[in-house]
Amino acid sequence: MFNLILFGPPGSGKGTQSEKLISKYGLKHLSTGDLLRYEINRQTPLGKEAQNFMDKGHLVPDEVVIGMISSALDDNPDAKGFLFDGFPRTSAQAEALDNLLKLKNAPIAAMLALDVTEEELIKRLLKRGETSGRSDDNNENVIRSRIVEYHNKTAIVADYYKQFNKVVMIKGEGSVDDIFKRLCVEIDKRA
Ligand code: B4P
CB 82 within 8 A of CB 73: yes
Interval between CA 33 and ligand 1 midpoint (Å):
8
Measuring from atom 48 of ligand 1, which residue has the nearest CA?
A: 176
Q: Which residue out of 28, 56, 104, 128 is catalytically annotated?
A: 128
* Euclidean distance between CA atoms 111 and 98, whole angstroms: 13
Q: Three-state SS string across the chain, please? A: CCEEEEECCCCCCHHHHHHHHHHHHCCEEEEHHHHHHHHHHCCCHHHHHHHHHHCCCCCCCHHHHHHHHHHHHHHCCCCCCEEEECCCCCHHHHHHHHHHHHHCCCCEEEEEEEECCHHHHHHHHHHHHHHHCCCCCCCHHHHHHHHHHHHHHHHHHHHHHHCCCCEEEEECCCCHHHHHHHHHHHHHHHC
Q: In ligand 1, which atom is closest to the CA atom of 175?
A: 49
Residues with C-beta less than 6 Å from any ligand 1 atom? 8, 10-16, 32-33, 36, 53-54, 59-60, 65, 86-87, 89, 93, 124, 128, 136, 146, 176, 179
Q: Which residue out of 14, 124, 166, 182 is catalytically annotated?
A: 14
Query: Is 128 tagged catalytic?
Result: yes
Q: In ligand 1, which atom is closest to the CA atom of 87?
A: 30
Interval between CA 190 and ligand 1 midpoint (Å):
25
Taking alpha carbons only, the member of 74, 63, 92 closest to residue 30 is 74
| Each residue's pLDDT expressed in tens, for the chain with a length of 191 residues | 999 999 999 999 999 999 999 999 999 999 999 999 999 999 999 999 999 999 999 999 999 999 999 999 999 999 999 999 999 999 999 999 999 999 888 899 999 999 999 999 999 999 999 998 888 998 999 999 999 999 999 999 999 999 999 999 999 999 999 999 999 999 999 98
Query: Is 146 tagged catalytic?
Result: yes
| Residue to mutate (ligand 1; options 59, 142, 143, 148; most atoms within 8 A of CB) | 59
Q: At what angle do helices 140-149 and 118-132 cross, to 10 degrees?
A: 130
What's the full length of the chain, in residues?
A: 191
* Euclidean distance between CA atoms 3 and 6, whole angstroms: 10
Predicted model pTM = 0.94
Q: Which domains does the chain have, with CATH numbers?
A: 3-27+79-190 (3.40.50.300)
Q: In ligand 1, which atom is closest to the CA atom of 8?
A: 10
Measuring from atom 14 of ligand 1, which residue has the nearest CA?
A: 13
CB 66 within 8 A of CB 32: no
